[in-house]
Structure 1
Amino acid sequence: MHFIKTIPIGGKAFAMCMLISSLLAAAPAGASTATQTTSPLAQQEGVVKVSGQVLDENGIPVGGAYVSVVGTANGTTTDAEGKWTLNVPKGSTLEFSFLGFVTETVTVTGPGSISLVLRQDSEFLDEIVVVGYGSVKKANLTGSVAKISQDAMKDRPIATIGEAFQGQIAGVYTSAAAGGQPGEDLSIRIRGINTINGSSRPLYVIDGVPRDNMSDLNPSDIASVQVLKDASSSAIYGSRGASGVVLIETKQGTGKPTVTFDAYYGFQSPERTMDLQEGYEYVAQEMYIRNVNHLRAGGSMKDPMSSRQAANQIPSWWLTTDSFTNWQKEVLRTAPIQNYQVSASAKGDWGSVYMSAGYMDQSGILVGSEYNKANGRVNASLNVTKRLRVGINLGVSRSVQNGAGGGGKESALHHAIIHSPLVGRDAATRDNGIPSATEVGEIFPSPYLRLIQITDQTETTRINASLWGEVDILDGLTFKTLYSNTYDGSKYEYFLPGNINRNGYQSEGSSSAARVNNWTWQNTLTYDKTFGKHAINVLLGQSVEKQNNYGIDAAATGWTYENLTTLNLAPTPTVASTAREGYANASFFGRVSYNYDEKYLFTASVRRDGSSRFGLNYKWGTFPSVSVGWKINKEDFMKHVDWISLLKVRASWGKAGNDNMGSNYPSVAALGTYNTVWNGNLVSGAAASNMPNVDLKWEATKSLNLGLDFAAFKNRLQVSVDYYINDTDDLLFSQPVPFTTGFSSYTTNIGLVRNTGVEVDINSTNVVKGDFTWSSNLNLSHNKNIVLDMGGQETLDVTSWGQKYRTEVGKPLSQFLAYHTIGLLTPDCFDASGNATVPILAGQEEGNYRYEDVNKDGKITADDMVVCGNNFPDLVFGFTNKFAYKNFELSVLLQGQIGGEIMYIGGRHNNLGNSGRNSYRHWLHSYKPDFEAMYGAGENPIPVEYCKQHGVDMSWDGKTPYAWGQSGGGVADDNRIFSTTYLRVKNITLSYNLPKSILKKVNIKGLKVYAAMDNVYIFTNYIGYTPESNTNGNGTTRLGVDYSTYPLSRRVIFGASLTF
């Protein structure tokens, strides 16, 4: 069974990586013997010999510190006792540096001894982390908050910010659910899926303003990204924080005036392709299929070809042609990608300003697909007085996406991989006057023509403007008000000409437009004060939000003149509708944070939300949280353990809600239009289309989080471990009601889903020696999903495309339901008369898959289908290694997952072996029964001579079944299911910073050149394009389904960053 296959990587490899990183981080750099570089200056006049010792603040020798002459290559490292010796020019400047300490400089006045005390660099401990409506020192965090390094976004060819999440944060599962289609965001889930009918998409807060997505943001404008993972951190966002919160801060003006120009250009190619039959292989397989079909119809291999049924005839030109179409090569291509950004920044006593503009153009690897985006940003602040500050954040973007139909069941991509190689790319008519596609039975003339002629375009404009003011009322007491208005407008155009549509279908087209206007007004009052060893921070706030949506859709078919595609020229309109809806939210919130001597930490928050989406009896909800922390390393009994800089335990509990139910009116009755007969005439009318529920309320997640933060060896080793239990109850569910009500069901709050997990994040600086450093990050995540209650209902089965999915109490969401394969049906499974002696599906034959009779009733039916896995991985990981030598930097990112399953539902069409469509190569090696025993001497359908002439091997591989009967991709069995275990070399980036000594001569502050590769290589057993696919998007009852999703692209780019 494919679904239990894994690739040979596992926990041992990660344990070894963790052990090596920890040991290297624990060892002092260069701790063996000191090395010295002798300068030729030692023989020159004015050179003096100096020596000394480097100590830390506790008087302990610092071994491995680097002592160098500024501006030269002359340097040495201290020995295990911190001692060093150098010959240096008199009057030169010595620089003393060591990771975890502040770099110091000393001027040499003459020969002698220089002893120096290095102060510990508290950058790690003093690092500021943004949290909801405020910020806190990272060392004082009591909740579970993760930060994405800016390095994850710079010098990489990422088109959307979501691409920077992969492999970077423990507990955040990021996948290319929509494949690699340009302009599509990645799917981001924080600590699993916590709903059945709602959305598990996190809340995005950009510069303090809640948003539904972050696709309009320019990665170059991002200053920081924080992820609030536990409910104690996200509860401050109340009814929208249950699925986690992503806080994004854009850049503000800093330092002296600078102008930066960034640019890169590169190429993309498919990360991988499917192993399909080509040319002669396809002809041999198709000849075999037609021969077998002729024998099964009662014919003989000795019959004249003209006497066969038309569908079983083999055209004579097949035997001599060497003209074939490799459809994957025709529709997938090498495509360019380019990005240009310019920004200016400045800060002074007057305030600050940051401005940027950029343009990105990404041609898709699927012919006809493309995405381009122009963006601009202005973030400015003005210090009106010493106490009053005002500012504006303005972001504008406009994008155009040409989808070319993308991936999926009816896409040109899917039909390309099942299209016959005998059809010409341009579907030309052959000498016999028959179109090539028609001659081999294809229902589409050419996938390539469809890609270049289809119109599938989305234009999007987004404007986000915020005005804010901040005043210091008293020392430590600050009031801030923020007003934001966001506009999202989109237009979609689709047109498919009749000549490239399915045979017999007319041209079809549609047009739609939508706009969303959202305004938010927030007011906060913050008191932050320290009294001796007591530090307190109090937040009080109020927020109100209003959203208005409008949409219009129209569609038609049957254009007479297809060069004029406006909808009014189509004779048959099929859709014409408009929609208006709105949403409002009002909130009051508060938070208290207290710490004593930065040793004992306490935070509590509460938010009261009112939402227009819920019933009259539950308009308001309360979302509290509490968290505590204890820095053990601050205790007196730890004061002599100086190698530990942080040892903190923390615990938190909180409650957050989910109001993202897919509708703004789930609790009220909606009107629908219906037709009825009145006095013999057909009339239209309106009536309630659903049963209202005034008691409907939001889903609520209660989260318990236990954490440990550890830093040691001058912060060279940093470890964070979290364990969590998230229970989400009051799930929205449809419950049946008596037919006498006039309805079949109504929506109510029942059910409970639990997610439990462990997260580990390890940062280590493994080697610091002279000009060379090596640092690593390893993050591991394990999440277990289980349904605990569905309101008395034990199972929920969903069927789509002939495949069943089951959500069951006591098991994870969305399990695959399929027949369990136990080998093949051998001749021993049938008696002399051909009757089965073992349970089989109706129509099964020798060589078909054999399925387990689970209920032991002597036959194979739908009751024998069993759970064959789910899409939840057991372990998700990322492993980053960074190497620096002088001005060179090299970064390598590995990411992937272990466990979980995916269903390639596209196998219904290309994993059959007898359909006439192109199939996977392994069907050449399918089971072959003894045809001569079945049909008589000489009745061998295998085209032996053709195979010998063209080097085609059709021998059985010992596992692929017989292609007739009931077997293969046409049956909902576990052979459609594959392991999602994979290891990907996600990114390799090499950069070089030109020396400042050279740049100063041309008045340039910085110049970096770099080369990068994304999606370098993937190790996987999956037969589709990517094991991350999820054709059904955010649907939680049909997870992990792939219907020929758009492939990911391998990108190679070259870029530069220039700062004036």
Structure 2
Amino acid sequence: MTKNFTLLIICLLCGISVAIAQNINIKGEVKDHQGLPLPGVSVKVDGTSNGVMTNKDGIYTLSAPGNGTLTFSFIGYKTISEAINNRTNINTTLADSNQELNEVVVIGYGSQKKKDITSAISTISVKDVSARPIINTSEVLAGKAPGVQVFNASGAPGGGNFSVRIRGASSPNGSEPIYVVDGVVVRNTESIDPNNIESISVLKDASAAGIYGSLGATNGVVLITTKKGTAGQTKVEVNMYAGKQQIIKKLDMLNADQYKDLINDEYTNKGQNVPAFPANFTANNNWQDLTYRSANQSGINVGVSGGTDKGTFYLGLGRLQQDGIVYGTNFKRYSTNLSLEQKLKPWLSVGTNVAYNRTDGRTVNDNQSANRGGTILGALYAPPILPIFNSNGKYQANTDNVSNPLDDIYSNENHYVKNNLLGNAHAEITLPFNIKYRSQLGISLNNYNNDTFTNPLTNQGASQVNGIGTNTANETFRYTWDNTLTYSTVINGKHNITAVVGTSAIEEKYTSSYLYGTGFPAGIKTLNAASANKQISTFKTDWTSNSYFGRINYGYDDKYLLTASLRADGSSRAGINNQWGYFPAVSGAWRISNEDFLKDNTVIKDLKLRAGYGEVGNLPQTLYNSYSSLDPSAYLFGGNSASGYRPANPFGNPDLKWESTKGLNIGFDLSVLNDRVSFSADYYDKKTTNFIFPVTFPTAISGNANTGYYNLPGNISNKGIEFSVTGRILAKTDFSWTANLNASFNKNSVNGMPQLVDSKGNNVDQTFPFGGIGFGGNGNNTNLSIVKNGLPLGAFYGYQYTGVDPANGNALYRKADGTITAKPEAADQTYLGSGLPKGVYGFTNSFNYKSLSLDILIDAVTGNKVYNATRVETESMSSTANASAAVLDRWRKPGDITDIPGAFFGGINAAGTTNTLPSSRFVENGSFVRLKSITLSYRIKNSLFDKQGIQLTVYATAQNLWTITKYKGYYPEVNTFSSSSQQDGKLGAPSSTAVGIDYGTYPQTKTYTAGLNLSF
């Protein structure tokens, strides 16, 4: 009986299944909003690959389950779904979506439809990269927007220090844009997990960025909107991934036999006896193989969102663990993001966004010479014959003050912890007469703690008084309070007006402390164990600003658009005589496609001309510039030393004002073939004046050399063009292909800076040196870049290398008069190139076939140079350090023809000079074309998944898979001075004046990752 009952149930289920699966023939017609037939519309049975396209008359026929759903989609029209409900005839009309044009773009203190934008603004949706893991914000921006160069300066775990440069370098005080996250101006993007970003708007020209005045909009503005909840059922999204990182390439170095031959040449060429190596120096180690590894990374991000028409929520949680390709290095990030929006009354809405993350990591010294503990250079510098361990099982120390790289990695400590909090609370009140009042209070808190310990048993630790311990701690707290009134109205159906007025107040407090000590017992790493040279220093700053701003947007008949804004800024960071500045901006557009003579054009969907002009500023990076400080010390009086006080750094300047950038932008936007192809292009011309520069006063004035900050005459010019073209190349039922190409070309130059008068009464341009590298172990800086009239900002400057003297192996250089010498003078130095690219490109392709997707991003830069300072060390042939395999072609005997000089111990050649002067010998082509990322994803479809609303996608992605370049170093995307906050310790040179210098920077990686996205 039980068996029969079971059999009956099975038969009934099968019958139901057959009935449900029974297909019916459906016929229908698809029309547009004007009642005209639409050919080529995709008609698909939802959840299956079954689909057809309408014919030239808009007619379709297909077979589908009676209980299924049909989806109608066509480029330029809204996608709709129709339940079949056993109908055999289903006709439908598709509405013109103007989806891209009606997209809402976030702008300063508000939003605007994309079609009404009058300035140069690029938008990026994180949906474009959602199929792969995002480690830092640079991966969202890279290659996506014309005029925006994004580069990671190093491959350190956690993404290293990435930089964003919008339309060239505009200031010697850093060229990073300002970042605004959910309306809060922040110092950087460390406070947010990039996986919680919804969209990014980049304000590129002064007319768009003018609403932010002097906050740093000289370099553009990046507006970041984080994910928010939406009304409806609670939705959960999970992204899990794991992968491997590898060094992109290793450099060819000498093996043991080649190394011994080099050392023999060094001493022989100097007429000295070749020293004997220690008896246990018999290894043949490849220190790069011992230093670098294949490193793991894994992560998980969970997002939960939902809500009702009264309130919504979003909660994001994330964890990232990334080992570095250098042994012993790692990075961890724990993050959370909470967004709440609540409509308390029909006229009152409140909300909050809170983001917190904690990162901790262990790193090694890079961007330093091997003599001073630089691990990256140490892996190149260490002799191959150096054994890993000595007879006592300890790391073998080297005899030439070059550390054993593994000793540096495992015996020393460099650990940091960062806690970042970003939050805002806002309220919006709807007032009569179409006015909205919004008040938002935002805070950002960045806390940093770094402990380092240099073991007394390492070469570096022993040479620095038996070990070194340091602790650096700092905290930055900033609050912002913004209040705005927004008025919107439409008059007679043709006059669209939106106006906003507001105030903004900012206060930032910064505190730091630094502890230092030496003399550590072996095995003890805490600072309280230091027995000598104990030092404590503390530092505090506080600055405020108050701002008033307004903007009006006017549109007439959806044809003529005008935007005008004005901001007044007062800041304590400027000199007391110039604390207020005013920043106007205006832009307009003409939508030609809405004119009567183009309305019936079937090719042009949208055509808009744009033009804008604006002024923005950049506040001084240093504080308390108005005031001079005094030191209790001796000073000069009448040529004699007298007791009392003397001026100390910095020298006060009450007239210091912000840098000012005035920019012109002219562009157009074009969409054709029913939005199948869209194109935009812009020309820009911007000049930065009043740029802030350190000026050193003669000893006779102050009693010692003092530096003050002044606005110098002259300007930094950036002129260029940029364009972006997007094409929906194929749009079939089962296959689609969309591509985007963007490119920008920029010319940067410095003009009008102060000149000197030479002995003949002629005006000559000054050179202001930056980019100091402390080669070797003496710590003396060699300046590699300068600021000078007629050259790009941070131009490389040095001697023109012409080759090697066949008679004696000396390096030869061209003098200013064209003659050749082995002993050039300072006056013979010349321009050697620039680290700033002339062209930046991005090329994306997205292919979709049924459930399979392939996304490819290729980016490139051209016209830039890299100063390969690493080669200065690895090709110096002046010590017992190892050398590059390039020196196998060195000069060895009279008559040799080569471009590699001879080897001379101590670095002094037969002419009494060095063979490694800063010269064109080490300046290389930094252009590259790179497969930045490639992602293959597959959405797993299942009837059970569809019923439960589950979507599951698996993916595999590779980053930096291949790079085409002529650069000889690890990687052409490199910068020792890797961010606007990282400065040369001796010269204070920010990155914009020392771009493209490679001196032992943590190498870049290529990454392979697999993961899955799950939502339900």
Task: Trace 1:945-984 onto structure 2 (pairs within 5 A).
Answer: 959-964=899-904, 965=909, 970-984=916-930
- Pairing 1:798–2:769 present: yes
Distance 1:682 1:339 in 2: 65
Higher RCO, Cα 8 Å, sep 6+? 1
Distance 1:253 1:593 in 2: 29
Task: Trace 1:311-390 onto structure 2 (pairs within 5 A).
Answer: 311=275, 313=276, 323-390=283-350
TM-score if structure 1 supplies the norm length? 0.84
- 2:725 matched residue in structure 1: 762
- Pairing 1:193–2:173 present: no
Distance 2:625 2:935 in 1: 48
Of 508, 515, 520 in structure 1, the residue corresponding to residue 468 of structure 2 is: 508
User: CA 1:491 to 1:683, structure 2 compared with 1: closer, same or farther past 3 Å?
Assistant: farther
Distance 2:129 2:71 in 1: 31
For the 8 Å contact 1:188–1:201, the answer to whether it is kept is yes
Query: 1:524-557 deviations in whole A, cap 9, x for unaligned?
Result: 1000111211110010101111111111111111
Of 782, 795, 798 in structure 2, the residue corresponding to residue 815 of structure 1 is: 795
Distance 2:267 2:710 in 1: 58
- 1:275 matched residue in structure 2: 252
User: CA 1:71 to 1:195, structure 2 compared with 1: closer, same or farther past 3 Å?
Assistant: closer
Distance 1:726 1:1014 in 2: 34
Distance 1:614 1:91 in 2: 70
Unpaired segments of 5 or more residues in structure 1?
A: 1-43, 299-307, 828-844, 932-955
| 1:258 positional shift | 1.5
| 1:621 positional shift | 0.6
User: CA 1:690 to 1:446, structure 2 compared with 1: closer, same or farther past 3 Å?
Assistant: closer
Root mean square deviation, CA, Å: 3.1
Distance 1:361 1:88 in 2: 47
Secondary structure in structure 2 of the residue aligned to 1:802: strand
For the 8 Å contact 1:795–1:808, the answer to whether it is kept is yes
| 1:925 positional shift | 3.0
Distance 1:212 1:90 in 2: 58
- 2:742 matched residue in structure 1: 779
| 1:575 positional shift | 3.0
| 1:988 positional shift | 1.0
| 1:897 positional shift | 0.7
> One-letter code of the match for 2:918?
A
For the 8 Å contact 1:426–1:446, the answer to whether it is kept is no
Task: Trace 1:247-326 onto structure 2 (pairs within 5 A).
Answer: 247-255=223-231, 256-277=233-254, 282-293=255-266, 295-296=268-269, 309=273, 311=275, 313=276, 323-326=283-286
Distance 1:733 1:156 in 2: 43
Percent of residue pairs identical:
30
Task: Trace 1:642-1041 onto structure 2 (pairs within 5 A).
Answer: 642-659=602-619, 661-672=620-631, 674=633, 688-735=648-695, 741-742=701-702, 746-750=708-712, 751-792=714-755, 794-798=765-769, 800=772, 801-826=781-806, 845-846=808-809, 848-856=810-818, 859=821, 860-862=823-825, 863-913=827-877, 915-929=879-893, 959-964=899-904, 965=909, 970-995=916-941, 997-1000=943-946, 1003-1033=948-978, 1034=980, 1035=990, 1036-1041=992-997
Distance 2:25 2:338 in 1: 55
Distance 1:639 1:744 in 2: 67
| 1:82 positional shift | 4.4
> One-letter code of the match for 1:788?
N
- 2:553 matched residue in structure 1: 593
- 2:987 matched residue in structure 1: none
Task: Trace 1:55-454 onto structure 2 (pairs within 5 A).
Answer: 55-57=31-33, 62-80=38-56, 82-86=58-62, 94-105=70-81, 117-182=93-158, 184-196=160-172, 198-240=173-215, 241-255=217-231, 256-277=233-254, 282-293=255-266, 295-296=268-269, 309=273, 311=275, 313=276, 323-409=283-369, 410=372, 411-428=374-391, 437-438=397-398, 441-454=399-412
| 1:521 positional shift | 1.2
Secondary structure in structure 2 of the residue aligned to 1:1026: coil
Distance 1:963 1:56 in 2: 79
| 1:589 positional shift | 0.6
Equivalent residue pairs, number: 950
Distance 2:356 2:66 in 1: 57
Distance 1:149 1:900 in 2: 29
Secondary structure in structure 1 of the residue aligned to 2:457: helix
For the 8 Å contact 2:958–2:1009, the answer to whether it is kept is yes
Query: 1:67-97 deviations in whole A, cap 9, x for unaligned?
Result: 3344554432344554544456678654432
For the 8 Å contact 1:703–1:726, the answer to whether it is kept is yes
Query: 1:82-137 deviations in whole A, cap 9, x for unaligned?
Result: 45444566786544322222234557799998765433222111100000000000
- 2:439 matched residue in structure 1: 481
Distance 1:511 1:652 in 2: 49
| 1:977 positional shift | 0.7
For the 8 Å contact 1:999–1:1006, the answer to whether it is kept is yes
Secondary structure in structure 1 of the residue aligned to 2:523: coil
Secondary structure in structure 2 of the residue aligned to 1:126: coil
Secondary structure in structure 2 of the residue aligned to 1:413: helix
Between stretches 176-185 and 705-714, larger displacement belongs to 176-185
Distance 1:314 1:220 in 2: 54
> One-letter code of the match for 1:669?
S
Distance 1:916 1:80 in 2: 79
Distance 1:231 1:133 in 2: 16
Distance 2:444 2:304 in 1: 24
Distance 1:210 1:295 in 2: 62
| 1:214 positional shift | 0.5
Unpaired segments of 5 or more residues in structure 2?
A: 1-19, 757-764, 773-780, 981-989
- 1:496 matched residue in structure 2: 454
| 1:595 positional shift | 0.3
Secondary structure in structure 2 of the residue aligned to 1:124: coil
- 1:1045 matched residue in structure 2: 1001
User: CA 1:548 to 1:823, structure 2 compared with 1: closer, same or farther past 3 Å?
Assistant: closer
Distance 2:355 2:504 in 1: 22
User: CA 1:908 to 1:88, structure 2 compared with 1: closer, same or farther past 3 Å?
Assistant: closer
> One-letter code of the match for 1:260?
E
Secondary structure in structure 2 of the residue aligned to 1:568: helix
- 2:8 matched residue in structure 1: none
Distance 1:297 1:592 in 2: 75
User: CA 1:64 to 1:673, structure 2 compared with 1: closer, same or farther past 3 Å?
Assistant: farther
Between stretches 1033-1042 and 199-208, larger displacement belongs to 1033-1042
> One-letter code of the match for 2:893?
P
- 1:548 matched residue in structure 2: 509
TM-score if structure 2 supplies the norm length? 0.88
Query: 1:697-719 deviations in whole A, cap 9, x for unaligned?
Result: 11111110111111111212111
User: CA 1:673 to 1:331, structure 2 compared with 1: closer, same or farther past 3 Å?
Assistant: farther
Secondary structure in structure 2 of the residue aligned to 1:498: coil
Distance 2:618 2:690 in 1: 10
- 1:842 matched residue in structure 2: none
| 1:60 positional shift | 5.7
